[in-house]
Amino acid sequence: MTDNNIVIRENQGSIIAGTFWMLIISLLLFWLPAFGSLIAGIVGGKQAGGVIAGIMAALLPGLMVAVALFFAGTMLTTLPMIGAILGGSGLLLYVIYVPPLLIGALIGGLLA
Residues 25, 34 contacting (CB under 8 angstroms): no
- Cα angle value 82/27/79 (rounded, 5°): 10
Residue 86: per-residue pLDDT: 74
| Domain annotation covers residue 68 | yes
pTM above threshold 0.75: no
Non-local CB neighbours of 82 within 8 Å, separated by 6+ positions: 73, 74
| Domain annotation covers residue 3 | no
Residue 14: per-residue pLDDT: 87
Residue 8: per-residue pLDDT: 52
| Domain annotation covers residue 47 | yes
| Domain annotation covers residue 7 | no
Residue 33: per-residue pLDDT: 78
Residue 98: per-residue pLDDT: 84
Residue 108: per-residue pLDDT: 92
| Domain annotation covers residue 6 | no
Quick one: which of 98, 94, 72 has its CA closest to 80? 72
- Cα angle value 101/105/111 (rounded, 5°): 145
Task: Please list the rounded mean pLDDT of every run of 10 residues in the chain (112 residues).
Answer: 56 84 86 87 91 89 72 75 76 79 91 84
Number of domains in the chain: 1
Q: Which domain holds residue 34?
A: 15-111
| Domain annotation covers residue 28 | yes
The DSSP result for 18-74, as a single string, is HHHHHHHHHHHTTTSTTHHHHHHHHHHHHHHTSHHHHHHHHHHHHHHHHHHHHHHHH
